[in-house]
Amino acid sequence: MDNNISKLFMAHYTLSFTLTLFVLFSLSQSSAANILPIINPVSPSTICKFTPFPNFCKSMLPTTENVTSNNNVYDYGRFSVHKSLSSAHKFHSLIQKYLRQSKILRIIDIRALEDCQVLAELNIDYLSSTFKTVNETSKILPILEAEDVQTLLSAILTNTQTCLDGLQETDFPWSLRNGILTPLIDDKKLYSVSLALFIKGWVPNKKKRSKSHPITQKQSAFRNGHLPLKMTARNRAIFESISRRKLLQQQDDDQDLEDDDQVLVSDIVIVNQDGSGNFSTINEAVAAAPNKTDGTTGHFLIYINAGVYEEYVHISKNKKYLMMIGDGINQTIITGNHSYGVDNFTTYNSSTFAVHGQGFVAVNITFQNTAGAINHQAVAVRNSADLSTFYSCRFEGYQDTLYVHSLRQFYRECDIYGTVDFIFGNAAAVFQNCNLYPRLPLEKQFNAITAQGRTDPNQNTGISIQNCTINPADDLRFSNSSTQTYLGRPWKEYSRTIYAQNFIDGFINPLGWKEWTGDFALNTSYYAEFNNTGPGSNTSDRVTWPGFHVINATDAANFTVSEFLLGEDWLPRTGVPYFKA
């Protein structure tokens, strides 16, 4: 949040509650009256019916007669987002207060609080951006802008849930527990109301928004192939000059190249452990990258020579539009072994590699967490970067290998190894042409490829697996184990996962999907399969949950790059191949 906006909000906090409401609603009503069409007034009771928590919504919205008599959905939405921002600031201050009591806390408790601190800071940023948008207009937004804000509000809920999960999994001291968990649970409801009101007021009607077309035979012919990778001769020469080969190879040398399809590089640094590059560690190169770039001048390229890099890499929210290119899978390796519980890490901060910076791209790199199955949750990569891309990468771990935490993500031609819930999180994530390899877990464990974490029906999140190959890893294939492997299980109440046009080998349990516990989320989750092949793709014996569906081509198209990620707006600039439908 810039200084001007920060000062504005701090000024708001010094006002009385009534004056804050008056200023906020006077501004919104003036904007609507002078610039935009008149919007019909609506009561809090009526508008709250469109939220997941109607009673909480009514208790939160203002009720003074002279403030609410002419309010509409935009007034309530602005109020809710503003109140959410205020609550996020208060929670951040509360976390700092608890961290000052570190003498009575265990290491894992402190780390859980530190996770919450980072997540609260992200929420403040996202809510500041959201408030700026909703305070400028009282009308339906263009599709791309509406999607951006809905994505941020979805991520705010995810961040809050992650903080909550981390505190609950650490057995936070009872003497402090209620003081932090109660406001956190209330904040989660408040953010849910804000998301619902934003969708009601600013997001295009789903029927108007949808440009979905059924996946056609022509489109499915891209299976196991590549769309041409468009790159200028200049950029191709840059890649070749630092790697002595075509790292990103153009598939069709005769095609016309458009400016919009160029891969722009603003600067290049080289990492080599022998000291012959600009840096000998990845973290040094990341620290040297510019802060808060907008991507218009291209990616800051970090080329990482072959080697095993025993580093815990964290790319902060300020390090935007970084591109990392390695010498290839199993040549450039980033490795670590942190794990939950045993080493006093939360699941969230057990990752070897973590990225928040928008527009991140990784190519030709292996990411590992070598803690092993015995140490349970151990994340290789945690991705919280919006508009991020991993191409021709490998992810190795056991439980919780790849944490697709939040925002919009794309994975192409990647190899992913793991056991329990090894692709999990609450991003909007699409996987194309990847290889998924369930491994041999601990005795009496089962494998679940996915554990999607959607907690709210209005979040635009889910895991979409398209045109991938699902085979057992060699240790599972050649074992005598009776291990059962499932396509996924519902980690959270509105878990959403789609498998479309994949090859599924016969080791998948015929039921396909595994419950989390009892009947939790079996009615509210959304699991779908479309046009998969292979001996494990037969759906005749699948679970009979209300949340499971065998879908048609039109429904499947809603979870493709063009629809689910609006990827045609941002993927071309990465140079990574993809098919849009």
Q: What does the pLDDT look like over 45-92, one tens digit per residue? A: 999 999 999 999 999 998 655 454 578 999 999 999 999 999 999 999
Annotate 410-426 with DSSP letters as a single string: EEES-EEEESEEEEEES
Residue-level pLDDT at 206: 61
Query: Is 62 strand, coil or helix?
Result: coil
Do 411 and 453 lie in a common domain?
A: no
Please provide residue 62's backbone torsions phi and psi, each rounded to the nearest 5 degrees. Answer: -65, 150
* Nearest C-alpha neighbor of 265 from the set 242, 292, 296: 296
Examine the pLDDT at 473 and tell me if it is beyond 50: yes
Task: Please indicate, yes or no, if residue 219 is contained in any of the structural domains.
Answer: no
pTM of the complete model: 0.87
Task: Please indicate, yes or no, if residue 487 is contained in any of the structural domains.
Answer: yes
Amino acid code (one letter) for 280: S
Do 48 and 191 lie in a common domain?
A: yes
Task: Please give the share of the chain, as a percent, with pLDDT higher than 70.
Answer: 82
Residue-level pLDDT at 41: 86
Report in angstroms the alpha-carbon separations of 1 from 50, 122, 290. Answer: 30, 10, 18
The answer to whether residue 421 is catalytic is yes
pLDDT band at 103 (very low <50, low <70, confident <90, very high): confident
Please provide residue 431's backbone torsions phi and psi, each rounded to the nearest 5 degrees. Answer: -115, 125
538, 511 Cβ separation under 8 angstroms = no
Do 408 and 463 lie in a common domain?
A: no
Do 56 and 189 lie in a common domain?
A: yes
Q: How far apart are the first and last CA of the chain?
A: 36
Task: Please indicate, yes or no, if residue 507 is contained in any of the structural domains.
Answer: yes
Q: Higher confidence at residue 409 or residue 42? A: 409
Mean pLDDT to the nearest integer, 453-468: 98
Task: Please indicate, yes or no, if residue 381 is contained in any of the structural domains.
Answer: yes
Lowest mean pLDDT among 162-176, 271-285, 476-490: 162-176
Tell me 572's DSSP state.
G
467, 503 Cβ separation under 8 angstroms = no
Task: Please indicate, yes or no, if residue 410 is contained in any of the structural domains.
Answer: yes
> What residues pair up with 435 in beta bridges, in sequence order?
415, 469
Do 343 and 466 lie in a common domain?
A: no
Task: Please indicate, yes or no, if residue 298 is contained in any of the structural domains.
Answer: yes
Domain CATH code at residue 74 = 1.20.140.40
- Provide the domain count of the chain: 3
Do 282 and 163 lie in a common domain?
A: no
Residue-level pLDDT at 376: 94
Max Cα-Cα span within the chain? 74
Helices (H), 387-447: none
Do 396 and 519 lie in a common domain?
A: no
540-578 residues labelled b (16+ CB within 10 A) or e (exposed)? eebbebebbbebebebbbbbbbbbbbbbeebbbbbbbbb
Do 109 and 51 lie in a common domain?
A: yes
Residue-level pLDDT at 564: 97
Examine the pLDDT at 16 and tell me if it is beyond 70: no
Please provide residue 447's backbone torsions phi and psi, each rounded to the nearest 5 degrees. Answer: -95, 140
Residue-level pLDDT at 104: 78
Residue-level pLDDT at 558: 96
Lowest mean pLDDT among 237-241, 271-275, 291-295, 470-474: 237-241
* Distance of alpha carbon 247 from alpha carbon 253, whole angstroms: 15
Examine the pLDDT at 153 and tell me if it is beyond 50: yes
Residue-level pLDDT at 295: 87
Q: Share the mean pLDDT of the chain.
A: 85
Task: Please give the share of the chain, as a percent, with pLDDT higher than 90.
Answer: 74
Do 409 and 329 lie in a common domain?
A: yes
Tell me 27's DSSP state.
H
Lowest mean pLDDT among 13-17, 204-208, 486-490: 13-17
> Per residue in 484-515, pLDDT tens?
999 999 999 999 999 999 999 999 999 999 99
Q: Higher confidence at residue 101 or residue 242? A: 101
Please provide residue 372's backbone torsions phi and psi, each rounded to the nearest 5 degrees. Answer: 85, 165
Structural domain ending residue among the three candidates 174, 202, 230 = 202
Domain CATH code at residue 537 = 2.160.20.10
Examine the pLDDT at 8 and tell me if it is beyond 70: no
Mean pLDDT to the nearest integer, 339-365: 94
* Distance of alpha carbon 371 from alpha carbon 89, whole angstroms: 36
Q: How many CB atoms lie within 10 A of CB 312?
A: 17
Do 297 and 153 lie in a common domain?
A: no
> Per residue in 375-415, pLDDT tens?
999 999 999 999 999 999 999 999 999 999 999 999 999 99
Query: Is 296 strand, coil or helix?
Result: coil
* Distance of alpha carbon 310 from alpha carbon 305, whole angstroms: 14
Annotate 228-243 with DSSP letters as a single string: -----HHHHHHHHHHH
> Per residue in 162-197, pLDDT tens?
999 999 888 777 777 788 999 999 999 999 999 999
Task: Please indicate, yes or no, if residue 573 is contained in any of the structural domains.
Answer: no
pLDDT band at 262 (very low <50, low <70, confident <90, very high): low
Do 52 and 165 lie in a common domain?
A: yes
Residue-level pLDDT at 261: 47
Angle at 421 between CA 417 and CA 422, to 5 degrees: 20
Residue-level pLDDT at 341: 74
Residue-level pLDDT at 38: 38
pLDDT band at 321 (very low <50, low <70, confident <90, very high): very high
Do 517 and 385 lie in a common domain?
A: no
Task: Please indicate, yes or no, if residue 572 is contained in any of the structural domains.
Answer: no
Residue of 421, 505, 519, 541 with catalytic role: 421
**Which of 232-236, 340-344, 389-393, 573-577 tops mean pLDDT?**
389-393
Give strand ranges (E) for 444-500: 447-452, 462-466, 469-470, 485-488, 496-500
The residue range of the domain holding 342 is 268-418
